[in-house]
Chains A and B, each alone.
Chain A
Amino acid sequence: MSASRLFWLPALAGLCALASAQAQTYGLGQALTAQAIAPWDIDVAADGAGLPRGRGSVAAGKLVYDAQCAACHGAKGEGGIADRLAGGKGSLATTKPVRTVGSYWPYATTLYDFINRAMPYTAPKTLKPEEVYAVTAYVLHLNDIVAADAVLDAKGLAAVRMPNRDGFVADARPDTGPTARRP
């Protein structure tokens, strides 16, 4: 076998591997490090994964709430031009259900996630972690879920058990019509 043939064999193998790879991927996009994605990587899982360092008290949360939230959600979370946040306990199975953080939301961690990404309405993504923890704690306190002297951090927030935690069921459709699942 000549030297030139020996040269080509691995090159051909490489080409085949490349062709195979090209059938699956296109080589587009830039590699993304954990450090680079960090400013966007804001989601918080139900078990608290993704919660940042920091902590906040109910008392500090009241100050944030009064300044940033009360105008839309009411002084005590009773609702206004935006959603009611507190109350509604025991109302879901009645003809006048009231869906609030306390009566309806299954996870306290979702409250952190939503406030952090979307609130306050006119300036979202501006609150510091300490402020988000604090106002989360205050809204939970408005619903009698944490005590007035509570201070929440990642561990404490993930440990909060919401009243409607087990209130959700799987989609059971089709539930009408000829193909409906019958009980």
Chain B
Amino acid sequence: MSDPVSPAAAASRRRFLRSGAGSAAVLASAASAQVAPLEVAPWSREPGEPVGWHPYGQPSPFEKEVMRRSRRSVPLPGANSSMTPLHALFGAITPTGLVFERHHAGIPQIDPARHRLAVHGLVQRPLLFSMDDLLRFPSVSRVHFLECSGNTGSEWRGPGTQSVQISHGLLSCCEWTGVPLSVVLQEVGLKPGAAWVLAEGADAAGMSRSVPLAKALDDALLVYAQNGERLRPENGYPLRLFLPGYEGNMSVKWLRRLKVGDAPFMSREETSKYTDLLPDGSARQFSFGMDAKSVITFPAPEHLLRGAGFYEISGLAWTGKGRVRRVEVSTDSGASWRDAVLQEPVLDRALTRFRLPWHWDGGPAVLQSRVWDETGYRQPTPQELIAVRGLESGYHYNAIQSWGVTPDGKVRNVRV
């Protein structure tokens, strides 16, 4: 692992130590912040809330600002999205109640006793499964990120929002538990010619996507639990599909039907939506995978730096192609880069927390991160991305993000 302290910071420290007065100045500064005699707080003088205060539990009332937020209110509130507050989270796992949402016709409230999964089409034995059936199959738990292909789409034309929650928050990472789809496809038996699987939701949108059979047999999961508990309604309760590394829309929620066919089903979601329009007027179709991407979540526009000194830059990196191999961070608009420390374990197609110590000198700075994944792919600059895809492809924006720090400690979304 490389030295996490920058050459510039090390040089600054050497100058500081050489000056002789430096260390004394720091001590004087720390000592000058006189602390008044400590109060014994009221909560130390009486018993607290009883056990079972909240039988399920909820965050401290002092954390009430940490919540999902939407970009704007829309006339059809069931066809909107909400974003994960990335700026307020730690580690790599997203708390279940903060997992982003994107629904196309609202959240159905489904009685699991009445929910069914039908599997039919090019299969030997068409079968109908109850939730009890599905819970009896051998299960697996895996940690993976989930990202909407429209995440960060507001950045194509330059800084689109002063909030990492809104710009990058269609992104979450959970432990998902369920049945490998391959197990259920084995149960029904595939017929010759099987090549695609239609996944269809039980919601009012009847959300439907075509999944290549190879993906379905490789690592697709029929998920019923998330971070140790049953799915929340907004995340697909009681059953959803989960396709690691693929755009979120394909992980169909409230899954009620799988139909095996010999061709893609050309649903609205893979023709008129979730296709990427290029400058020549053609559009990429079946653009399923999410590319390598990273973003600094501290400091971000939601934060205020309280004076020069030490800070730990921290963020998230991920790739739909496997594992994150390396994250570099720049504090000088990309003129120089330093390797960030990756939080272990670095998991396959999961969010990876990175960290870099930073001594802010109080001057203007531009903070950036760029990720390399295990295929050798590097996160592009906005200019590199736009040169290939233009400004209208909508989905799959994964360019380097720049946060500008001003001397008053504010952090702003900037394009350099």
B281→A93 contact, CB < 8 A: yes
In the assembled complex, B118 has its CB within 8 A of some CB on chain A: yes
List residues of chain B with CB within 8 A of the CB of A36.
Answer: 128
Give the contacting residue for B127; candidates A29, A114, A117, A124; CB below 8 A: A29
Question: Chain A residue with minimal CB distance to B384?
Answer: A176
Q: How far is the CB of B385 from chain A (nearest CB, A)?
A: 6
Q: Chain B residues near A171 (CB, 8 Å)?
A: 276, 284-289
- A2 proximal to B (CB < 8 A): no
Q: A45-B266, A173-B287, A179-B375 in contact; A124/B133 too (CB < 8 A)?
A: no
Stretch at the interface among A11-19, A20-28, A140-148, A149-157: A20-28
Interface members, chain A 30-60 (any B CB < 8 Å): 30-34, 36-37, 40-43, 45-46
CB pair A32 B263 closer than 8 Å: no
Using Cβ atoms and an 8 Å threshold, which residues of chain B touch A31?
A: 125-128
Given A32-B128, A37-B118, verify A125-B206 contact (CB < 8 Å): yes
A23 and chain B: residue at smallest CB distance: B186
Residues of chain A with a CB closer than 8 A to B186's CB = 24-25
Chain A 49-81 interface mask (CB, 8 Å, partner B; 1/0): 000000000000000000000001000000001
Interface size on A, residues (CB 8 A): 54
A6 located at the interface, meaning its Cβ lies under 8 Å from any Cβ of chain B in the complex: no
> Which of B31-39, B254-262, B308-316 binds A?
B254-262
Residues 121-139 of chain A, each 1 if its beta carbon lies under 8 Å from chain B, else 0: 1001100000000000000
**Contact between B206 and A118, CB atoms less than 8 A apart:** yes
Query: Shortest distance in angstroms between B314's beta carbon and chain A's nearest beta carbon?
Result: 24
Residues A94-117 near B (CB distance < 8 A): 95, 97, 99, 101, 104-107, 109-110, 113-114, 117
A-B contact count (CB 8 A): 170
B386 and chain A: residue at smallest CB distance: A176
Q: How far is the CA of A99 from the CA of B282 in the complex (A)?
A: 12
B137 CB–A CB distance under 8 Å:
yes
Q: Assuming A93-B281, A170-B285, is B384 touching A43 (CB within 8 A)?
A: no
Can you list, as one digit per residue, whether each of B376-395 has a CB less than 8 Å from chain A (1) or not (0)?
11111000110011011000
Q: Any chain A CB within 8 A of the CB of B415?
A: no
Contacting pair A169 B127 (CB below 8 A) = no
Query: Which chain B residues lie closer than 8 Å to A93 at the CB level?
Result: 279-281
B104 within 8 A of A: yes
Least CB separation from A27: chain B residue: B187
Give the CA-CA distance A17 to B271 in the complex, in Å.
46
Interface residue range, chain B: 35 or more
Is A114 within 8 A of B137, CB to CB?
no
With known contacts A93-B280, A113-B268, A117-B206, A33–B392 Cβ distance under 8 A: no
Chain A neighbourhood of B189, CB < 8 A: 25
CA distance in complex: A107, B271 (Å): 8
**Listed A/B pairs (20) with beta-carbon separation below 8 Å:** A25-B186, A26-B187, A28-B129, A29-B119, A32-B127, A40-B118, A43-B259, A46-B265, A93-B281, A104-B271, A105-B272, A106-B271, A110-B266, A168-B283, A170-B285, A174-B291, A175-B388, A176-B384, A176-B388, A177-B384
Q: B: which residues have CB within 8 A of A?
A: 74-76, 79, 104-105, 118-120, 125-129, 133-134, 136-137, 183, 186-189, 198, 200, 204-206, 208, 256-257, 259, 261, 263-268, 271-272, 275-289, 291-292, 375-380, 384-385, 388-389, 391-392, 396
Given contacts A81-B76, A168-B284, 14 further A-B contacts (CB under 8 A): A26-B183, A32-B119, A36-B128, A46-B263, A46-B266, A97-B392, A106-B266, A107-B266, A107-B271, A124-B105, A171-B284, A172-B284, A174-B375, A176-B380
